[in-house]
Amino acid sequence: MLAGENVSATDATDPGESKTMKVRISSIAVLLALMLSSFAFARQDEGHKLAHFQIAIFARGPKWETTPAEGRGPILQQHLANVLSLYESGKLAIAGPFGDDTNLVGIFIMRAASADEARGWLDADPAVKAGLMTPEIHPWWSEDIFKKPNMPLKLDTFYFGFLKKGPNRKDGDDKDPQVQELQKAHIANIVRLADLKKMVMAGPFGDDGELRGVFVFRVSSLKEAQDLSASDPMIKIDRLRIELHPWKVPAGVLP
């Protein structure tokens, strides 16, 4: 997952892109809220077409612990070369490692038409073939805002949040008027954070599992990402929970 590169954090955004970013996140926010409410998700909003991606969530594989560091190094370099090749071909929208010490290694977001196509690309990755990483694939929706990375390669730190079902989410409660009002507040909060240039990416998962959506923050610390997440009305009532990770991605890919 682009291991071994220098990392620098940034929260700079071109002011000329602020309005575009707000509209984009607003569009995604509406769709995200509909997905979180179990409504239909194949739609367009405000003229912004949402693209279908496949997300691969990488966990440490069975050979991670048993492969010594000197053995992992060359494989991870081959993995990096594969990542850059996927970027160049346009198959890979964005990828990067998580910067914390958990069982999760990082993320690929791929422009694949199906999980089977994405699986074929992942099975060819040197780190997957060597058993260092094990990917879990999910369909995901977002506007295709991603660009090729700047060269020479440098990583910026963002904060990636998995939105998950909370204990206070009940089947069918999206029809409850109180929950519908909270959904409106949830959308408004996403747009607010986009307007503050703190949230740079959001989108819903396309399967009906524990994972409901993604938030990505451009902020200076995990604590700030946690505080911004805590402002979400659905997280406040424990209908949703968020799992945050520092995420290192190539500079230039995200606007």
Residue 132 lies in a domain: yes
Phi and psi angles of residue 28, each rounded to the nearest 5 degrees, phi first: -65, -35
Residue 27 lies in a domain: yes
Q: What is the mean pLDDT of the chain?
A: 85
Residue 47 lies in a domain: yes
Pick 120 or 143 by higher pLDDT.
120
- Report the pLDDT value the prediction gives residue 40, as an integer from 0 to 100: 28
CA 127 to chain centroid, in Å, comes to 21
What pLDDT, in 10s, does the model give residues 191-200? 999 999 999 9
- Report the pLDDT value the prediction gives residue 231, as an integer from 0 to 100: 97
Mean pLDDT in residue range 111-115 = 96
Mean pLDDT in residue range 213-241 = 97
Q: How many domains does the chain have?
A: 1
For residue 122, pLDDT beyond 50: yes
What residues make up the domain containing 86?
A: 7-250
Report the sign of the C-alpha dihedral through residues 60, 63, 65, 69, in that order: negative
- Report the pLDDT value the prediction gives residue 23, as an integer from 0 to 100: 52
177-195 vs 18-36: helix axis angle to the nearest 10? 160
Residue 174 lies in a domain: yes
What pLDDT, in 10s, does the model give residues 21-49? 555 555 555 555 444 433 223 333 444 57
What pLDDT, in 10s, does the model give residues 54-96? 999 999 999 999 999 999 999 999 999 999 999 999 999 999 9
- Report the pLDDT value the prediction gives residue 171, as an integer from 0 to 100: 82
For residue 207, pLDDT beyond 60: yes
Residue 255 lies in a domain: no
Residues 200, 158 contacting (CB under 8 angstroms): yes
Residue positions counted in the chain: 255
- Report the pLDDT value the prediction gives residue 2, as an integer from 0 to 100: 56
CA 204/CA 33 separation, integer angstroms: 8
Q: Model's pTM, two decimal places?
A: 0.83
CATH number at residue 201: 3.30.70.1060
For residue 19, pLDDT beyond 50: yes
Look-up of token digits 């620098």: 8
Residue 69 lies in a domain: yes
Residue 1 lies in a domain: no
Q: Write the DSSP assignment of 154-203 as a string of letters.
A: -EEEEEEEEEEE-TT--TTGGGSHHHHHHHHHHHHHHHHHHHTT-EEEEE
Residue 19 lies in a domain: yes
CA 5/CA 53 separation, integer angstroms: 26
What pLDDT, in 10s, does the model give residues 97-110? 999 999 999 999 99
- Report the pLDDT value the prediction gives residue 49, as an integer from 0 to 100: 77
